[in-house]
């Protein structure tokens, strides 16, 4: 049996829309096994051990498997294949659950059928399914990542992140579908917004490389997507604007939301109190997760024979 842990990821990190990604020490777990019976089965459970049912067309594990089968029809045998998934964080909260499912499946099928796909091939296939690269690259490789797609070619760079940086996730009880959150951005941006984002994204990159949260904070403002996305939910918008006046550490809408990710070298006790108070004031139901950056990326283990 192949057991795979795939890290949750936070994309964009403010100005790095569709490019920046950060892997977190929070994992969904996948098990792939091939049994003698003819049954093909995918079973997915959430963190409360409840079965999660997806419509066939929304099941990214199935979609990824079928895409792979088109490329490797003779090597992949679905008869007897069992895929078991334990989700440890919620879907549609901007924590890269789609990329997680795609990368987990690509790597699991690669291992169990000995396809010998290298990281480049895995990422190319993942990009074909996911459409944008910012979550798939850190899900596979870990760290802070910069991804770019030029002429359909994926280019990326990974930087390990200091263990001194702690992460706090504010996860509201609010699902945001990435598809809708992408539509709202539109297709045109202002030239000043573009130049501000270029400058800010450069500062955020420098901040991660130099382990300097002040630099990340200086570059944390985004002029392309965050404001429009926050406008999708009045309470979340108010929450984000109000905490911006009260909290001095860098924070961003994670991916397309609704999670907000905070970075600090200190502990979060004081900040958590502020967030809880503000969330309560605005009637936002949420929970908090403290974690760290994951620099290792995917973890693959062979269990038993």
Binding site for ligand HSE (CB under 6 A): 11-12, 17-18, 132, 134-135, 178, 181-182, 255-256
Is residue 3 within 8 Å of 33, Cβ to Cβ?
no
Is residue 162 within 8 Å of 209, Cβ to Cβ?
no
- Residue 135 or 200: the one with the smaller Cβ distance to ligand HSE is 135
| Nearest approach, Cβ of residue 185 and ligand HSE (Å) | 8
How far is residue 3's CA from residue 49's CA, in Å, rounded to a whole number?
A: 18
| Nearest approach, Cβ of residue 298 and ligand HSE (Å) | 18
- Residue 93 or 158: the one with the smaller Cβ distance to ligand HSE is 93
Is residue 69 within 8 Å of 110, Cβ to Cβ?
no
| Nearest approach, Cβ of residue 245 and ligand HSE (Å) | 25
Q: How far apart are the first and last CA of the chain?
A: 7
Is residue 100 within 8 Å of 8, Cβ to Cβ?
yes
Other CB atoms closer than 10 Å to residue 266's CB: what's the count? 11
- Residue 54 or 268: the one with the smaller Cβ distance to ligand HSE is 54
How far is residue 253's CA from residue 260's CA, in Å, rounded to a whole number?
A: 5
Mapping DSSP to helix (H, G, I), strand (E, B) and coil, where does residue 140 land? helix
| Nearest approach, Cβ of residue 290 and ligand HSE (Å) | 23
Query: What DSSP element (H or E) covers 11?
Result: strand 2-11
| Nearest approach, Cβ of residue 257 and ligand HSE (Å) | 8
- Residue 18 or 111: the one with the smaller Cβ distance to ligand HSE is 18
- Could you write out the DSSP letters of every residue in 42-97? EEEE-TTS-B----GGG-HHHHHHHHHHHH-TTT---TTEEEEEE--S-SSSSS-H
| Nearest approach, Cβ of residue 222 and ligand HSE (Å) | 10
C-alpha distances in angstroms, 17 versus 61, 194, 195?
25, 11, 13
- Residue 105 or 256: the one with the smaller Cβ distance to ligand HSE is 256
- Residue 32 or 94: the one with the smaller Cβ distance to ligand HSE is 94
| Nearest approach, Cβ of residue 213 and ligand HSE (Å) | 22
- Residue 122 or 181: the one with the smaller Cβ distance to ligand HSE is 181
């Amino acid at each position: 049996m192949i057991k795979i842990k795939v890290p949750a990821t936070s994309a964009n990190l403010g100005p790095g829309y569709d490019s920046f990604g950060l892997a977190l020490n929070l994992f969904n777990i996948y098990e792939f096994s091939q049994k003698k019976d003819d049954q093909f089965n995918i079973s997915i459970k959430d963190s409360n051990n409840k079965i999660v049912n997806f419509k066939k067309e929304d099941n990214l594990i199935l979609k990824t498997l079928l895409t792979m089968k088109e490329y490797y029809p003779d090597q992949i045998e679905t008869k007897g294949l069992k895929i078991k998934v334990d989700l440890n964080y919620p879907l549609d909260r901007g924590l890269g659950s789609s990329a997680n499912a795609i990368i987990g499946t690509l790597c699991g099928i690669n291992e169990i059928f000995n396809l010998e796909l290298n990281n480049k091939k895995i990422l190319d296939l993942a990009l074909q399914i996911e459409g944008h690269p910012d979550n798939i690259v850190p899900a596979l490789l870990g760290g802070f990542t910069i991804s770019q797609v030029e002429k359909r070619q994926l280019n990326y760079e990974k930087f390990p992140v200091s263990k001194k940086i702690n992460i706090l996730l504010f996860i509201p009880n609010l699902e945001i579908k990435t598809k809708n959150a992408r539509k709202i951005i539109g297709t045109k941006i202002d030239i000043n917004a573009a130049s501000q984002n270029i400058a800010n994204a450069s500062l955020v990159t420098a901040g991660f490389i130099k382990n300097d949260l002040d630099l990340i904070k200086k570059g944390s403002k985004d002029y392309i997507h965050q404001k429009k996305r926050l406008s999708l939910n009045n309470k979340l918008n108010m929450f984000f604007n109000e905490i911006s006046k009260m909290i001095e550490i860098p924070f961003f809408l994670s991916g397309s939301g609704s999670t907000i990710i905070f970075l600090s070298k200190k502990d979060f006790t004081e900040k958590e109190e502020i967030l809880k108070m503000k969330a309560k004031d605005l009637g936002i139901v949420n929970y908090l997760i403290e974690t760290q950056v994951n620099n290792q990326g995917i973890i693959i283990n062979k269990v038993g024979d």
